[in-house]
Chains A and B, each alone.
Chain A
Amino acid sequence: MKELKSFFTKSPTGGIFLALILVCALFSSMTSRFLTTTNLSVILNQVSVNAILAFGVTFVIIAGGIDLSLGSLVAVCGVVVALLSQNNEYSLWIAIIGTLVAGLALGALNGIIVVLTKVPPFIVTLGTMTIGRGMALILSKGRPISDLNESLNFLGNGDLFGIPIPILFLVLSYGTCHLLLTKTVFGRYVKAIGGNEVASYVAGVRVNRIKLYVYMISGLFAALAGILLTARINTGQPNAGLGFELDAIAAVIIGGTSTRGGKGTITGTLLGVLFIGVINNGLDLINVSAYWQQVIMGGIIILAVVLDGLYQKLKMNI
């Protein structure tokens, strides 16, 4: 019991965890269809793409940056994987690796512009967001790409030992990112740069290199999300991923990562993603219209951050 209390009061993710439990309890009391194994699996499957994007962009935000190009990168990479796996021309492995490399390269482009020009990342990635959308349309000639490799479809809709593949990717990405942020030299330096960039530089941290890497990670996970999305709908859609960056960033912020950089956790991001996913799913189940869902979601995002601020203050006094 004591440990439980200490988790809620001491852990940085205690607040959002509590909120998640509360909304789950709320929906379970409103409909019996919420708390079922099938529905929970549906939620996890639905949030997997957003989760993977959000994990990647968590690094960027902790380092004090932002990546608005995510949605466009999802589209470009979705189109690239579709082109590479059309008509069984290349093996699935080549299609996947090629797409991940494309994602890394596009992320590197963001990073290089940010580091070299010193233009605020908000502006840079706003630019590459538009560039990316254009590239997706150019590559696909503006049309959806179909007739994809059968085994790609399996990635989006198949399962392994009864667990849907996207959920496996979610779990794998969570573990990798969590270790990367909490246990590695790189993760430590990401937090240091976000906490005080000048001090990190003077202390000998290769600030530019770390900044480049965080955008590359963001690009890599956008590529993975693009692959999963294309695999799920079995089509390469140049218009896919519209507004995905906002959902991902919202999840990161709800998960307690500071937009000023310096602190944040992957676990928090996961909880933020689940929070958004549960609310979307729950509102669907109790038949709230899609239009109202958006209004409610926006309000909840603001409320979550306000409450978290109050909660942090409260914690100081415990």
Chain B
Amino acid sequence: MAMQDCLLKIKGISLAFSGTPILKSVNLSLNQGEIHALVGENGAGKSSLFKCILGIISPSQGEIIFLNESLSGYSVREILRKGIAMIHQELMLIPELTVAENIFLGRESIQGKRMGLREINQASTDLFQEYDLDIPVGAFVKDLSIAHQQIIEIMRSVSQKARLILMDEPTSSLTEKEITFFKQLIFRLKSEGISIVFTSHKMDEVFGFSDKISVLRDGEMVGTFSKDEVNPMSLVQKMVGREMKDFYPEAISEVGASILRVDDLSCLPHFEHVNFTLCAGQVLGLAGLVGAGRSDIGQVLFGVKKKTSGQIFLKGQPYNPENPSDALRAGLGYLGEDRKEMGIIPEMNITENMSLGLLDAYRKFFFVDQARESADSVGMQAQLSIHSSREGQRVQNLSGGNQQKVLFGRILLNNPEVLILDEPTRGIDVMSKFEIYTLILALKKQGKAILLISSDLPELLAMSDRVIVISKGKQMAEMTREEASPEKVLEFALH
């Protein structure tokens, strides 16, 4: 590759926080118009590397060369001006402003020329036309979907003449359809000569989008590979640094008696006329796009939402939970789709988070039997291999994977017969994912009935014995694991 094609060169960057090494002599080089995937477990140093490139933190050693110029000593603002942009996982738009106002935020005058509302609307319209985007520039950002908001952030970077865009898990909250569009967009950017470095936990995107793949592990660059040199299996091994027999563990178990039967269940306007039976020792997968009504089915079963018609039978008896507390007592367990919003109490510690909602079982007169509570929690932490740096650590300081395991602990402490798991592996690192898969299959072997809701199609198909596809609130198809293929499920889901 000729020298002038090299856009970014990272030479031996090291970084440490209070003695703990975060990055160890990391090298990376990137050409113009290259899409580069950066993979690694949570805590491997991906975000720190991004922060170094952007100048948010300065490395203790090494240097970063962008367009043949060292970036050391430049401020974040100056680096942005040189043409490096970043799309954060949490989008940084102002919801109460319009699309055009967001794109030109902070640049209302360019080269001395004042950009009025008309000028920025015109400039945004031109930009969108150039990229074949069908988003009204006058719409308020708060009224747009997450996917559209993300496109607007990308377009803001493009309008700022970014040569390199860093993206932190850009697809984590997009639906399958939106991901397809996203892919088209970044290929378009590539054809304009813009380079992209993105992080992702999803293998099909890592392989589907990128020209090169770099693997970080514990702050060290394991290597940069072209797509032909690695496959998903070997890549995961490089990420975790050891052999994994199979990413989705195999589990065969006897399907037992019917536990939960749903008969013509509706919860308008979310879903209607849903029928299925869930048996002991079985994993039933609910597939569909985000917003299709999958999560709402789980919420009705757990008493978070109220059904509008239809019936639910639990072990043959009519079951009508008024609230989650009823569902808990009936022997159900529930993991909500958004860990931060519906799962953890950030200020509380692991034990307090686990026993939440179950304290009646630990009641001694008015008081909490803290000795027994703590003993059960410690046992569960060992069983689920939850890693915390010290006793009583707040859950907000744990990694996503450990937080998710704490929530599993809460479910298991109640020893439920039916588990409803909504996106159990969203946004967590590969190792924790693997542990959660193993756990789900162990529970299945114990004869638990499991309803699995997931947007990660490979995961859903590998874990489920049967799959039901939901589209726009309607049950489109039910198939066995053998019958189900990604293409078939998507066809129904997009129907």
Most buried by B among A188, A201, A203, A263: A203
Chain A residues near B302 (CB-CB < 8 A)? 202
**Chain B positions 430 through 459: 1 when the CB is less than 8 Å from some CB of chain A, otherwise 0:** 000000000000000000000000000000
- Whether B323 is near chain A, meaning CB under 8 Å from some CB there, is yes
- A196 and B368 in contact (CB under 8 A), knowing A202-B304, A202-B336, A204-B358? no
Establish whether residues A192 and B360, one from each chain, have CB atoms under 8 Å apart when the complex forms.
no
- A184 and B347 in contact (CB under 8 A), knowing A192-B356, A199-B341? no
Closest residue on chain B to residue A202 by CB atoms: B342
Establish whether residues B347 and A263, one from each chain, have CB atoms under 8 Å apart when the complex forms.
yes
**Chain B, 340-363, CB within 8 A of any chain A CB:** 341-348, 352, 356-360, 362-363
Establish whether residues B410 and A203, one from each chain, have CB atoms under 8 Å apart when the complex forms.
yes
**Chain A, 168-193, CB within 8 A of any chain B CB:** 179-180, 183-186, 188-189, 191-192
**Chain B, interface SS category:** mixed
Q: How many residues of B contact A (CB 8 A)?
A: 30
Establish whether residues B352 and A205, one from each chain, have CB atoms under 8 Å apart when the complex forms.
no
Chain B residues near A195 (CB-CB < 8 A)? 345-348
Closest residue on chain A to residue B344 by CB atoms: A199
**Chain B, 361-376, CB within 8 A of any chain A CB:** 362-363, 366-368, 370
Establish whether residues B346 and A183, one from each chain, have CB atoms under 8 Å apart when the complex forms.
no
| Assembled-state Cα–Cα distance A263/B352 (Å) | 13
Most buried by B among A189, A204, A205, A262: A204
Establish whether residues A186 and B366, one from each chain, have CB atoms under 8 Å apart when the complex forms.
yes
Q: Which 6 A-B pairs have the closest CB atoms?
A: A204-B357, A203-B357, A195-B345, A204-B328, A185-B359, A204-B325
- Whether A200 is near chain B, meaning CB under 8 Å from some CB there, is yes
Closest residue on chain B to residue A196 by CB atoms: B345
Seen from chain A, the residues whose Cβ lies within 8 Å of a Cβ on chain B are 179-180, 183-186, 188-189, 191-192, 195-196, 198-206, 262-263
- A199 and B345 in contact (CB under 8 A), knowing A189-B359, A204-B324? yes
Chain A residues near B324 (CB-CB < 8 A)? 201-204
Establish whether residues A203 and B356, one from each chain, have CB atoms under 8 Å apart when the complex forms.
yes
- Whether B334 is near chain A, meaning CB under 8 Å from some CB there, is yes
Establish whether residues A200 and B334, one from each chain, have CB atoms under 8 Å apart when the complex forms.
no
| Assembled-state Cα–Cα distance A188/B359 (Å) | 9
**Chain B positions 295 through 335: 1 when the CB is less than 8 Å from some CB of chain A, otherwise 0:** 00000001010000000000000000001110110000010
- A199 and B360 in contact (CB under 8 A), knowing A184-B367, A185-B366, A206-B323? no
23 sampled A-B residue pairs with Cβ under 8 A: A185-B359, A185-B366, A186-B366, A189-B359, A191-B345, A191-B352, A192-B348, A195-B345, A195-B346, A198-B341, A199-B341, A199-B343, A200-B357, A201-B324, A202-B304, A202-B334, A202-B343, A203-B356, A203-B357, A204-B356, A205-B357, A206-B323, A262-B346
What's the least CB distance linking A282 to chain B, in Å? 34
Chain A residues near B336 (CB-CB < 8 A)? 199, 202
- A188 and B325 in contact (CB under 8 A), knowing A195-B346, A202-B334, A204-B357? no
Closest residue on chain A to residue B18 by CB atoms: A317
Establish whether residues A184 and B366, one from each chain, have CB atoms under 8 Å apart when the complex forms.
yes
Establish whether residues B368 and A183, one from each chain, have CB atoms under 8 Å apart when the complex forms.
yes
Most buried by B among A184, A188, A189, A199: A199
Closest residue on chain B to residue A194 by CB atoms: B347
Establish whether residues A183 and B367, one from each chain, have CB atoms under 8 Å apart when the complex forms.
yes
| Assembled-state Cα–Cα distance A200/B348 (Å) | 12
What's the least CB distance linking A40 to chain B, in Å? 33
Given contacts A185-B359, A199-B343, A204-B323, 8 further A-B contacts (CB under 8 A): A184-B366, A188-B356, A191-B347, A196-B344, A203-B324, A203-B356, A204-B357, A205-B325
